[in-house]
Amino acid sequence: MIISCIAFATMWVIIRYASREVHAFEIVFFRNAIGALVLTPMMLSNPGLIRWSRLRANLRRATSGFIATMGTFYAVAHAPLATALSINYTAPLFATVGAVLFLGERIHFRRVAALVAGFAGMLIVVRPGALPLTPGVLAAMLSAVSTAFSIVAIRALVATDDSRAVAAWTFLLTTIPSLVVAAFVWTWPPLHVWPLLGAIGALAAIGQLTLSRAFSLSEASAILPYDFVRFGIIAVAGIALFGERLDGLTIVGGAVILASTIYLAVREAQVARGLAALREAEAK
């Protein structure tokens, strides 16, 4: 999880540099295409990873991931980095709401309180009426909702599929759609930008592989606290490299959101263990 955080944080910094000369949607295509090139040899050398029966499930995850990536890259290019990341932290909160609305999961007072606190944290970061809702901030919100669906899909997939395949299919299935979108804003990148695009694709592949592996090895409650590593790196990078001013309320809001997310993950793990113990007792 720490490797994933470092990879994604570094990728965000490089995206900001590359977006000065290349449209964010075009960067998404290169991210997907290069990531696919990096991971395809692994898939081909391990035929057991290619399970066509799981294509539909991977396609659902890839669809939400495609929308999330488009929103994230646009937000990174056009919004303060710490603000974009704080909003991105609400994804697990949206995932919990989605599970209640679409999967019929029951929710109790403590989880409701955590959700309310998390969304209050987002309001602290966004401050509607006090700060302008720029296209970058709106893209970050869209990304958070889409990422929520990806989180649910990843958790379901890694329960039965190899985490390497889950990561690889994401790139393979989104390369062509991202090229179609990029075609509307296409300009050939200058020569000096190509190394940045290559680094983005490689870091995305590393981040996805390690994130899927983390979810396959441990409960979300154990790994989500480490995601604050990403916030620290990105906040420092925004100040040191791009002259951004780190708003105190953004830090507070981001901390509230992350704390709510961690609490929800811990609570879900406790409930899952309780249900497992109950089933075991009934079986005896």
**93-145, pLDDT tens digit by residue?**
787 777 677 656 677 777 788 888 888 888 888 787 666 788 998 999 899 88
pLDDT higher at 209 or 29:
29
Residue 273: the pLDDT is 73
Map tokens 């379901």 to a residue.
156
pLDDT class for 256, splitting at 50, 70, 90? confident
Q: Which of 23-27, 37-41, 184-188 has the least mean pLDDT?
A: 37-41
For the chain, how many structural domains are there in total?
Answer: 1
Report the pLDDT value the prediction gives residue 218, as an integer from 0 to 100. Answer: 76
Whose CA is closest to 137, among 125, 148, 129? 125
Look up the pTM and report it: 0.81
Q: What is the pLDDT of residues 179-192, one digit of tens each?
A: 999 999 999 999 99
Range of the domain at 71: 2-283
For 66, other C-beta atoms within 10 Å of its C-beta total 21
Rounded to whole angstroms, the Cα distance separating 96 from 93 reads 5
Instruction: State the Cα–Cα distance between residues 17 and 235, nearest whole angstrom.
Output: 16
Span 48-70, pLDDT tens digits: 777 777 888 888 888 988 999 99
Provide φ and ψ at 244, rounded to 5°.
Answer: -75, 150
Instruction: Of 124, 100, 68, 97, give the one whose Cα is nearest residue 257.
Output: 124
